[in-house]
Structure 1
Amino acid sequence: MNSVNKEGELNLKSAGRGSLAFLQGFLRHPEQVASIIPSSRFLERRLVDCACIRHASLVVELGPGTGGTTQAMLKAMRPDAKLLSIEITPEFVELLRRHPDPRLNVQLGSAEHVREILHQQQLPPPDVVVSGIPFSTMPLTMGRRIIGAVWDSLPPGGLFVAYQVRDRVALLSRKLLGQPEVELELFNVPPMRFFRWRKPEA
């Protein structure tokens, strides 16, 4: 009974540290953090389904923050799958690297360098790239570079899924990626839109 209580206390403390780190990250770099509040469990479930996480061998996550979506994807992933999370905020990277799951590989860096990081880590093209980074608050040129890098990193049939409050990512992607499939998750603060593209097989 004591071990259960201690585990529960540890989980609560970790959750508290994660929320505090999320708020601090937002206050220091609002252009890099999509929301002041971590993702809801409804958003996490929809993300897992929309990105076909259960069937993927390699998932790349851009902007995992404090790891709410990271944890949700790890729970859904196959035992032999891998998750590469790329985060630009050092405090978030330090927090994520405490996660004990050996399938998780956390790297400090910018999303526009996704191809280079995959190469450095000796990883193949991912089945899906998931992005929570706020395209609406970054310079247009950087947004286009990130989208181009993501698209180039995907194999034919690969998925790119971006969950966003606004539709900037769809506007930036229109020429290169075409029209996305769009879903809306209302049970999140704020409500979140999911934009999904699949790279053509040919």
Structure 2
Amino acid sequence: MDTITYLKNFVKDRNVASITPTSSFGVKRVCSKIDFERQNVIIEYGPGTGVFTRYLLKNMDDASRLILIERNKNFGSILKKKIHDPRVVIVNDSAENVLDTLRACRESQADYILSGIPFILLNDELKNLILYNTHRALKKGGKFLVYQTCFQTDNHLKVHLDRYFPIVRSKYELRNIPPLRVYEAIK
């Protein structure tokens, strides 16, 4: 079901990054950088049908908060139908408006921000605005966890991340279709 939904949205919306949801291996690789023992404010850019969302809710503390920023209205309505958890806020907006979203949710900063949005498809101005506002939205020591298809070279994202974050690490997750490159950018 999720693959068909992704495929339909991929055809209609150029901002959808993949024709399939991220594999459980990819989800675990990205989320392995999160300390679930703490109370966190976590933001997810482009949650799609909620593959990461379900994993986050299963593992995060009861006092934690999850803010989902989904630009695609179809995915947003799917999330609203599927997710009924008091820790979750679903916002139909774009990632560059993360600071406004935090204010609207009465949060000052986030501990973690996850993103699968296709940075390769964004122009440099929008890409840099998202990264600038993401950096500002994170607490000191906070992490921006980004997963992208492995076909992207360093010039597509790492160079941009290095401008805003003092520490940027990357690894591959080959057990995903297509394989992923996972970035951990620490403020």
TM norm. shorter chain > 0.5: yes
In structure 1, the partner of 2:122 is 138
1:61 pairs with 2:76: no
Paired AA for residue 105 in structure 2: Q
Deviation at 1:164? Answer: 0.9
Cα 1:52/1:60, change in 2 over 3 Å: same
Contact 1:51–1:161, Cα closer than 8 Å, also in 2: no
Q: Secondary structure at the match of 1:142?
A: helix
Letter in 1 for 2:73: P
Q: Deviations over 1:139-163 (max 9, x none)?
A: 1111110000100111111111111
1:11 corresponds in structure 2 to none
1:19 and 2:3 aligned? yes
- Give the deviation of 1:175 after TM superposition: 2.0
How has the CA–CA distance of structure 1 residues 63 and 81 changed in structure 2, closer, same or farther, with 3 Å as cutoff? Answer: same
Q: Distance in 1 between matches of 2:35 and 2:25?
A: 16
Q: Structure 2: how far apart are the matches of 1:198 and 1:172?
A: 13
Aligned to 1:125: 109
Question: Alpha-carbon deviation of 1:54?
Answer: 4.7
After superposition, the CA RMSD in angstroms is: 1.4
The corresponding residue for 1:88 is 71
Contact 1:131 1:161 in 2 (8 A): yes
Match of 1:188 among 176, 179, 182: 176
Q: Distance in 2 between matches of 1:54 and 1:38?
A: 26
Among 88, 108, 111, the residue aligned to 1:104: 88
CA–CA distance in 1 between the matches of 2:161 and 2:65? 27
AA in 1 matched with 2:30 = L
Amino acid of the structure 1 residue aligned with 2:10: F
Sequence identity percentage? 30
In 1, Cα distance between the equivalents of 2:37 and 2:120? 29
Provide the secondary structure at the position in 2 that maps to 1:44: helix
Which residue is 2:57 aligned to?
74
Aligned residues: 182
- Deviation, structure 1 residue 105: 0.9
Partner of 2:144: 160
Matched, 1:33 2:16: yes
Greater strand content: 2
Q: TM-score, normalised by structure 1?
A: 0.85
Displacement over 3 Å in runs of 4+: 51-56
Shift of 1:51: 3.4
Number of the residue aligned with 1:49:
32
Deviations 1:28-64 (A, max 9, x none): 112x111111110111111211233453511000111
- Larger Cα-atom Rg: 1
Give 1:124 deviation, angstroms. Answer: 2.8
Contact in 2 for aligned 1:181/1:196 (Cα 8 Å): yes
Any unmatched runs of 5+ in structure 2?
Answer: none
TM-score by length of 2: 0.91
- Any gaps of 5 or more consecutive residues in structure 1? 1-15
What secondary structure is seen at the aligned counterpart in 2 of 1:94? helix
